[in-house]
Amino acid sequence: MTSRPPTRRAFLSGGLLAALAACAGPDTARRLGAPAARPTEPPAASAPAPTPTPTAPPRPPLEVMAGQMLMLGFPGTVLAPDNPVVAELSERHLGSVVLFSAGGASNVASPEQVAALTASLQEVAASPLIVAVDQEGGRVARLGPARGFPPTSSARDLGRGDPAATRAASAEMARTLAAAGVTLNLAPVVDVDTYPANPVIGSLGRSFSADPRLVAEHAAAFVQGHHDVGVLTTLKHFPGHGSSRGDTHAGLVDVTATWDAVELEPYRALVDAGLADAVMVAHVVNTALDPRYPASLSAATVNGLLRGELGYRGIVISDDLLMGAVAREWGFEEAVRRAVLAGTDIVLLASVTHGARAHAAILAMVEAGEVSEARLAASYERVQALKARSLAAG
């Protein structure tokens, strides 16, 4: 189906949205009375207490704010002093790391080892780190049975059952993550399974359903199961990867002719319900949304569609900027620059060796006047808010 710009029409019924939304407690207030002037006279009216003028905390140095905008992968199952991630933490104020389980950069050997590794990272970091991992379940689970972790069910299998069962399975998964020191799961996938032969979504069982309503229901249950344990989650891959015919790891993928606004409906429902801790933006090209840039580098998609049309106010994470869809089409510094200009809060890079260049590229944008200190501060504050929620939940 030819893609068309999304509309504001409501997707889920008010009943379902009410069931997904969190309840907020009422504010409370006190009024202080003044003592009577004389026993024989009416009480004197109390003067209103002066309201203190709130003072915004000073902004940290630019180097700190830029470092907090990066999420890096790194090699090793133990944190040796010469591991390059140590320099990123101590010299460039790295805010987030991501764990992998394959290749030379594997960080996963056993449950005890991962817990020790993440504890070492937190000890070195000047401020609490976001520790992320892709733990979707099924075939995409970095902490898997081959390394001593419990087996997990794929989104497809969970989507065939009851959302209550999804929530229970999600909570078990989150307990595994929490014990390993992971604070942010780069899941669930909320792509609608519009093309079952999709080489990176449908064929791997990563989507809950071809029905956007079921995707929203099971994704909500997945998020709530994690929240039950104190682990935060990431909705991906915005604005929808389910209809793609290619793999963005390998190269450019254009979904213009296959994407439909129905793929936004789970995002709309989850954002409205307050169940979007973070959103990861894909590298797919959709010329109906942006005629030039893939979603991850597109201000029209991130600031326009996600933050504007859908009203999302939380963390935006890019997909890995070292993937072929970006790396083969744009220079490294240009990709970082475009991601920041698009509205990204956390730039994800699978290799720590690119951290210094990314950090320098962000600082250069401020020096050149392409972005303001206030723009970096906005991302910094969103990152700190996510960390505070993680600490409170844990």
Q: Are strands 315-318 and 278-281 parallel, antiparallel or unpaired?
A: parallel
Among candidate residues 157, 211, 247, 249, the one labeled active-site is: 249
What confidence category does residue 50 fall into, taking pLDDT thresholds of 50, 70 and 90?
low
Is 249 labeled as catalytic in the residue annotation? yes
Q: Which of 43-57, 110-124, 156-170, 239-253 has the lowest mean pLDDT?
A: 43-57
- Supply the DSSP symbol for 249: T
Instruction: Assess whether pLDDT exceeds 60 at residue 383.
Output: yes
**Structural domains of the chain ordered from first start:** 60-393 (3.20.20.300)
- Supply the DSSP symbol for 375: H
Among candidate residues 191, 193, 319, 345, the one labeled active-site is: 319
Q: 3-state DSSP: the chain helix, strand, coil percent, rounded to 5?
A: 40, 10, 50
Instruction: For the chain, give the mean pLDDT.
Output: 88
Tens of pLDDT, residue by residue over 288-321, are: 999 999 999 999 999 999 999 999 999 999 999 9
Tens of pLDDT, residue by residue over 261-276, are: 999 999 999 999 999 9
Q: Give 303: exposed, middle or buried? Use CB within 10 Å, 0-12, 13-18, 19+.
A: middle
The predicted pLDDT at position 135 comes to 98
What confidence category does residue 22 fall into, taking pLDDT thresholds of 50, 70 and 90?
very low
Is 319 labeled as catalytic in the residue annotation? yes
The 10 Å Cβ neighbour count of residue 292 is 10
Rounded Cα–Cα distance for residues 236 and 219 (Å): 10
Token digits for 317? 């994470």
The predicted pLDDT at position 387 comes to 96
Token digits for 44? 């004197």
Tens of pLDDT, residue by residue over 170-224, are: 999 999 999 999 999 999 999 999 999 999 999 999 999 999 999 999 999 999 9
Q: Name the H helices within 245-352.
A: 265-272, 299, 324-327, 332-342
Token digits for 349? 């890079």
Rounded Cα–Cα distance for residues 65 and 377 (Å): 7
- As a whole-number percent, the residues of the chain with pLDDT over 90 amount to 79
Q: Which of 159-163, 247-251, 328-332, 339-343 has the lowest mean pLDDT?
A: 247-251
